Amino acid sequence: MKPAAFRTYLWTWLALLALLALTFGSAYVHMGTFNLVVNLAIAVLKTLLVMIVFMDLARSTSLVRLAAAAGFFWLALLAGLSLTDFLTRS
């Protein structure tokens, strides 16, 4: 595999640290439920940065991308099915 540009990795790292500062700062602002929404949105964004740039999904084959998505897909499926129990208990 050809090496990626150093700058790409550097900017990704700086973006991750900026997102960390943002999630930390946002936790001290009163937003009710939106605190959780913002925190999770930032966590997902950081994860995408790590997976696409650092784990090189940007240049991976479709087969590898499918394998990468499969874990999250099954987790969503199993969590969804389990929630049909927890959300319907009276």
CA distance 72 to 28: 30
Nearer to other proteins among residue 3 and residue 90 (C-beta): 3
Q: At its nearest, how many Å lie between other proteins and the CB of residue 90? A: 14
Q: Does 52 interact with other proteins (rule: CB under 8 A)?
A: no
Token match 């605190």: residue? 35
Which position among 2, 84, 88, 90 is part of the footprint of other proteins (CB under 8 A)?
2
Q: Does 47 interact with other proteins (rule: CB under 8 A)?
A: yes
Q: Does 58 interact with other proteins (rule: CB under 8 A)?
A: no
Residue 36, amino acid: L
- Distances in Å between the Cα of 48 and the Cα atoms of 7, 55, 76, 85, 86 are 18, 10, 17, 30, 29
CA distance 53 to 47: 10
Q: Does 6 interact with other proteins (rule: CB under 8 A)?
A: yes
Q: At its nearest, how many Å lie between other proteins and the CB of residue 6? A: 7
